[in-house]
Amino acid sequence: MRRLIVIFVSILITLLALEFQAQTPPAQTQKPPQTQAPPAQTQKPPQTQTPPAQTQKPQTPTPPAQTQKPPQTPTPPAAQTPPPAQTPPPPAPQTPPPAAAAKPPAPDPLQLAEDWMVRWNNLSNYSLSFEGKEVGREELVNKMMELYAPDVVAEVPPHDDEQIGPVILRGSELVRKWIDRISRTQVRLLYIQRRQTKRQFEGTKLVYSTPLPWGGVGISWEIIAAWSRREDRRKFTGPGSVFLQYNAAGKIDRLRLYVGEISEVTAL
């Protein structure tokens, strides 16, 4: 019985061995190509390196770049710096006072009126030589003309008995002819500035003055005019007033001499 079992087992082993041998040759030929496939698959792992390449994208420093914006916040303290800059202006206004001190002093109206009266009354203070020549008259006329501007305008009383109303003279040449005629035809010129007394003020000369918008000053005062004719020594008098406008250069550019109610002075 044991022999039969042994024979049966050996038969089975041989059969299995034959089947195994019959199957092994083709299996060995197919296995080599399968072994080559794995190396092909091994090349894929380098492709897996792309993911780490993508991991480099997180290196974007944009978030830290945003952190630099906070330094802009110190601008408010920078705006606080202007207040100390406002301190220098106060000393600047101190410069105008010296400029104002450089202005020339304004003319004295009383002195201007006195100067005009003295020169006017001196027009007859010349002498005659034995030959009948006038000595010093031209100098007196020149002294009077020093007060007037070249473009002076004068409004003066008439000299002709037939003329009614004042005479208008434009330019220093016409004014010179008028003054020259006064010095030739009138003597003993005595123009007096009227005085006023009130309370404790006795015999005060009043001169009215005002600054002119275009520069200079205007003055006026009351007078009592008196003169004599040279040809017959007849004496005349009358109340009047003088109006003068001085320009910025100190010259008279407008004159108005008014003498009204002229009457002859006769001996009693």
pLDDT tens-digit readout, 218-251? 999 999 999 999 888 999 999 999 999 999 999 9
Say if residues 19 and 27 touch (Cβ distance below 8 Å): no
- In sequence order, what are the residues at sequence separation of 6 or more whose Cβ sits closer than 8 angstroms to the Cβ of residue 137? 126, 183, 184
Residue 73 clears pLDDT 70, i.e. is over it: no
Higher pLDDT, 5 or 30: 5
pLDDT (average), residues 114-139? 91
* Percentage of residues of the chain with pLDDT beyond 70: 67
Q: Is the dihedral of CA 136, 141, 147, 151 positive or negative?
A: negative
Residue 201 clears pLDDT 80, i.e. is over it: yes
The whole-number pLDDT of residue 51 equals: 41
Residue 210 clears pLDDT 80, i.e. is over it: yes
pLDDT band of residue 99 (cuts 50, 70, 90) is: very low
pLDDT (average), residues 33-61? 44
Work out the mean pLDDT of the chain and round it to a whole number.
77
The whole-number pLDDT of residue 148 equals: 97
pLDDT (average), residues 75-100? 53
Written in H, E and C, the secondary structure of 26-55 is HHHHHHHHHHHHHHHHHCHHHHCCHHHHHH
Tens digit of each residue's pLDDT (9 = 90 or more) over 163-195: 778 899 999 999 999 999 999 999 999 999 999
- Calpha distance 164→260 (Å, rounded): 12
Residue 95 clears pLDDT 60, i.e. is over it: no
- Calpha distance 152→249 (Å, rounded): 13
The whole-number pLDDT of residue 33 equals: 43
pLDDT band of residue 252 (cuts 50, 70, 90) is: very high
Higher pLDDT, 249 or 51: 249
Residue that has been written with the tokens 């007394």 in this structure: 197
pLDDT (average), residues 38-50? 44
Higher pLDDT, 59 or 137: 137
* Percentage of residues of the chain with pLDDT beyond 90: 44
pTM of the model: 0.60
Residue 63 clears pLDDT 60, i.e. is over it: no
Residue 85 clears pLDDT 50, i.e. is over it: yes
pLDDT (average), residues 150-155? 96
The whole-number pLDDT of residue 29 equals: 43
Phi and psi angles of residue 90, each rounded to the nearest 5 degrees, phi first: -55, -40
Higher pLDDT, 2 or 61: 2
- Calpha distance 28→49 (Å, rounded): 35
Paired strand residues for 259: 240
Higher pLDDT, 189 or 16: 189
